[in-house]
Amino acid sequence: MGIAETVAQVKSGAVKADFLFEQKLALIASRYTEIHAFNHVMADEARAAAVAVDEAVARGDDPGPLAGVTVALKDNMCTRGVPTTCSSKILEGWRPPYDGTVVSTLKTSGAIAIGKTNLDEFAMGSSTENSAFGPTRNPLDTNRVPGGSSGGSAASVAAGFSDVALGSDTGGSIRQPAALCGVVGVKPTYGYVSRYGLVAFASSLDQIGPFTTSVADAALMLDVIGGHDPLDSTSIPQAHPSLVDVLGQGVEGLRIGRITDLPEGADPDVQERLEVAFDALRAQGATIVDVQVPAFTFGLTAYYLIAPAEASSNLARYDGVRYGLRVEAADTNAMYGATREAGFGDEVKRRIMLGTYALSAGYYDAYYGKALKVRRLIHDDFDRAYQQADVLLTPTSPSVAFEIGSKGDNPLAMYLCDTYTIPTNLAGHPGMSVPYGTGAHGLPVGVQVLAGTLQEPTMFRVAASLERSLA
């Protein structure tokens, strides 16, 4: 059942939001430690919210466009009075004094926020193994990773713990786990969804988006959470057209770009599904065009200078004074050092060191400055490509879900997971992963649909057509 049907049933009084919520809670409890999708389940708050929805229905009030829909929140989104850890020891015990905009929007829309999901510490990683609280397991094969960094959110939707979830995507952290868990994941245009109350990793790249089991559910979620927010100065100051309305429009006449210079490295099973996707769109009336996007070759390099640079600055605030953990020491400077040494994990420390190096006086121009120029060129590359094609189709991830521990001691191998997702973040463009059958070991493969700035309607038309071609 899609969330639109859930909302209709709850609104009509045919089903109680409280009943649906208790079902989810029981399911979460039955696989809680096995999957470890959640850092914290908001059982009391969620129950109260579900009862409030049912009471509104009984009174004849409108309970909102997401009435009774259970949603899991990545644990880097601020929730008032509820622990928000970013899966880091440095934030242990911190309870934000306010809700992020997406969280308050969901609440006023009648959605039931059911818990905070596990992630790679501060969203740095591609497997959710970098969590200070232990890894999340892929519900489809618990020896394998769910992807990352929003692995807990992807796993929650794949396991049916929540109807939908929210994640954040800085270099692929919604799309890659969506692909590995067989669900839909969307990174909207930068500024489409408010970042107010999202703990910053790399502010010029971070964007919030949904995980869902269908393209229609993702469209409805974005229709609700998208739009201008005066509290986020980078949010786009305009309303967005409805995505739910375009889903049936098909792909007749659209030009679908096949990237001829895409970096190699995708496994044959993944390649094969991409070819099937091209064929399906062609059969529905689209034209396949060849385009070149050299940006894909340079994305990773530019990203691993820009994202750590921004992270090193954003993470300077965790000093033992204002948030969470404090390790006492002889003087203030020693306290800062001891707190950060104990509070941050290895990957976060690696990024902070990379970032401070890239920003240091002697290397700023050579590294950070140059990466910004490359970013500009990547943006221009995409603009040229979008003159020839309405959307681009690529694999989301080079492989299906890999085994837990298999890339743990090789940061570069982990970084390569994001080859196909990162360039879009640098350009600020939207992208989404659509589950498209299975590959090796019977595990899901995701196809990525990319589009230009604010071309979400076209991207969703293609995604919906791909989904229909599987039905």
Choosing from 109, 149, 214, 397, the catalytic residue is 149
438 beta partners = 444
Only one of the segments 166-174, 314-322, 377-385, 441-449 lies at the binding site for ligand GLN (rule: CB under 6 A); that segment is 166-174
By rule CB under 6 A, what string of x and - marks binding of each residue 169-208 to ligand GLN?
Answer: xxxxx---------------------------x-------
Only one of the segments 30-38, 168-176, 282-290, 463-471 lies at the binding site for ligand GLN (rule: CB under 6 A); that segment is 168-176
Strand boundaries in 30-99, DSSP class E = 38-41, 70-74
CB 2 to ligand GLN: min, Å: 27
Choosing from 11, 16, 24, 74, the catalytic residue is 74
Q: CB-wise, 173 or 448, nearer to ligand GLN?
A: 173
Q: Is 312 a catalytic residue?
A: no
**Contacts of 93-101 spanning 24+ positions with Cβ under 8 A:** 93/324, 93/325, 94/323, 94/324, 96/197, 98/197, 99/197, 100/194, 100/196, 100/197, 100/198, 101/194, 101/196, 101/197, 101/229, 101/231, 101/232
124 interacts with ligand GLN by CB under 6 A:
yes
Q: CB-wise, 196 or 201, nearer to ligand GLN?
A: 201
In 3D space, the residue among 164, 158, 157 whose CA is nearest the CA of residue 71 turns out to be: 164
Residue 361: burial class (beta carbons within 10 Å; 0-12, 13-18, 19+): exposed
CB 266 to ligand GLN: min, Å: 17
Q: What share of the chain is helix, strand, coil (3-state, %, to 5)?
A: 45, 15, 40
Residues 302-321 that bind ligand GLN (CB under 6 A): 307
- What are the structure tokens assigned to 443, written together? 């595990």
Q: Is 12 a catalytic residue?
A: no
d(CA 105, CA 374): 36
395 beta partners = 447
The residue count for the chain: 471
Only one of the segments 34-42, 119-127, 246-254, 324-332 lies at the binding site for ligand GLN (rule: CB under 6 A); that segment is 119-127
Binder among 54, 129, 418, 456 for ligand GLN (CB under 6 A) = 418
Only one of the segments 138-146, 165-173, 376-384, 431-439 lies at the binding site for ligand GLN (rule: CB under 6 A); that segment is 165-173
419 interacts with ligand GLN by CB under 6 A:
no
3 state SS for 188-231: CCCCCECCCCECCCCCCCCEEEEEECCHHHHHHHHHHHECCCCC
Q: CB-wise, 101 or 168, nearer to ligand GLN?
A: 168
Only one of the segments 164-172, 210-218, 239-247, 362-370 lies at the binding site for ligand GLN (rule: CB under 6 A); that segment is 164-172
132 interacts with ligand GLN by CB under 6 A:
no
Q: CB-wise, 50 or 426, nearer to ligand GLN?
A: 426
Binder among 65, 125, 182, 226 for ligand GLN (CB under 6 A) = 125
> Are 355 and 308 spatial neighbours (Cβ–Cβ below 8 Å)?
yes
Q: CB-wise, 172 or 395, nearer to ligand GLN?
A: 172
Q: Provide the CA 237 distance to its chain's centre, in angstroms.
A: 22
Strand boundaries in 193-338, DSSP class E = 207-212, 255-259, 287-291
Q: Is 74 a catalytic residue?
A: yes
Binding site for ligand GLN (CB under 6 A): 123-126, 149, 169-173, 201, 307, 418
Enumerate the active-site residues: 74, 149, 173
